[in-house]
Amino acid sequence: MSVTDVVRPVQPISFDQQFTGEVPKYVRSDCKNNYKPKLSIERGYDPIKAENAIEQFRNAVKDFDLKDSSDEYLVKWLIAQDFDVARAEKMLRQSLEWRRINGADGILDSYTPSEVFKQYFSMGHVGLDKFGCPVFVCALGKMDLKGLLSSMTKKEYYNFLTWMTETFVAVITQENNRTGYRTKKQTFIIDLDQFSMRHLVSKPVGSFMNAGAAIITIIQTYLVNYPDQFRRVFIINAPAMFPWLFGFIKPLLAQNDVPKIKIFGSNKKEWMSALLEEIESDQFPSYYGGSMTDPGGDPKCPSKLNLGGEVPRSFYLRKNPPVAKDNMETLSISAGVGGKKKLECNVDVIQSTIRWEFMTEGGDISYRVYTKNNKNNSDDLVPHCRVDSHLVMEEGQISCDQPGKYVFEFDNSYSYLRKKKLRYHIVVEQPENSQ
């Protein structure tokens, strides 16, 4: 999904009033789905304290390369850290590093989810709530987490996670441009119907994590990199075991986030009433108590979201291991201490491109790509990462801003018993206009 941000004039935030309740609801202006909301920004803190903290925070992060330096953006990090400027600065700094490592700024253009995600990962944008915030639905209980984890590598999991969270932001921006609203928040409906312990403990053979860890990682990534972004979370059809599970999630939440979460059991009348109190009926599927249907009348609205389902084994990676190509060279890498190998590439022309692909036999491998600077220090171009190259071919490329020596380091020292056989092809391509 590619989104072009539209720059629009923004009035500065005024901290001369404190809001402790919900923001006013928007008013629909016509029947053509054009919204003209008139909203105030929700406050739940001392405005004078906030104003002073924002100024301190702005000075503390003035050396950061921020895409958004508005008060609305900065205050989100302060809220997450109870207006402790030092902690907020640390949190933002770590998030910017996460964005750099995961390529978050360009992920919507550089990455496309695989078919298994498109068909079996349940998450969809269905409409807006009564406060102008985009509504997303996730049928977590109906998802085959074991099947999904069997069908992806660790790298693809994190790529998808980054893509999904950036998509949330992109949808908010799109809806703001369409409606004229300035929200930076969203609403979730999480359906736990059919959720059980198998969703938490199941782990495919050879997988990089179990299903429970995958769920926690999604939540943690969202909370630490997109603070104060959800307005409401409706958890419906929660099983009897959910209070135990929520005990693991609650410590991850900022103090002001906990009251935003509403939890309901299987009493459909109860949670439908709560949904309709905050979301107009035509803004979410009939399947969940709204009035929205697909053009063909389907109450589940499959054009807007899927409800998960069992992942066919044809998607499983172990059913389709990579095959070495004829142009690949072979390198054996021992286990334990000494289990590192380096390959060097000499680049003579700036703006050359190094492309690579490799696979391993015997298990995964860790690798990084770096170059030496003038002070003989290494600059990481691809930071250390373990990849499931025994399950899928690892591919990549970098553009070389300067001539010199570029080094690929393959590391198997973490494996005490299993040596690896690396099959690789690395090529340096000079720019077309070079002599």
Do 193 and 298 fall within a single domain? Answer: yes
- Answer yes or no: is 93 within a domain: no
Do 158 and 298 fall within a single domain? Answer: yes
Do 245 and 328 fall within a single domain? Answer: no
Instruction: Report the C-alpha gap between 97 and 92 in whole angstroms.
Output: 9
Do 149 and 256 fall within a single domain? Answer: yes
pLDDT at 141 (0 to 100): 94
Identify the domain boundary among 315, 342, 372: 315
- Report the number of distinct structural domains present in the chain: 2
Do 370 and 396 fall within a single domain? Answer: yes
277, 286 contact by CB (below 8 A): no
355, 426 contact by CB (below 8 A): yes
Do 133 and 253 fall within a single domain? Answer: yes
pLDDT at 255 (0 to 100): 86
424, 395 contact by CB (below 8 A): no
């002070």: which residue's tokens? 375
* pTM (2 d.p.): 0.72
- Answer yes or no: is 25 within a domain: no
Domain holding 243: CATH number?
3.40.525.10
Q: Which domain holds residue 200?
A: 108-315
- Answer yes or no: is 297 within a domain: yes
192, 141 contact by CB (below 8 A): yes
DSSP 16: S
Instruction: Report the C-alpha gap between 373 and 343 in whole angstroms.
Output: 17
Do 207 and 335 fall within a single domain? Answer: no
Do 422 and 342 fall within a single domain? Answer: yes
DSSP 40: -
pLDDT at 207 (0 to 100): 63
Do 121 and 241 fall within a single domain? Answer: yes
Do 151 and 217 fall within a single domain? Answer: yes
222, 195 contact by CB (below 8 A): no
Do 286 and 302 fall within a single domain? Answer: yes
Over the chain (435 residues), what is each successive 10-residue block's mean pLDDT?
Answer: 29 27 39 41 63 91 89 92 94 94 92 94 96 96 91 89 96 93 92 85 66 90 95 95 88 90 96 96 96 94 92 83 90 90 92 92 91 77 86 86 92 90 94 72
Nearest CA to 239 out of 263, 259, 215, 218 is that of 263
Domain holding 414: CATH number?
2.60.120.680
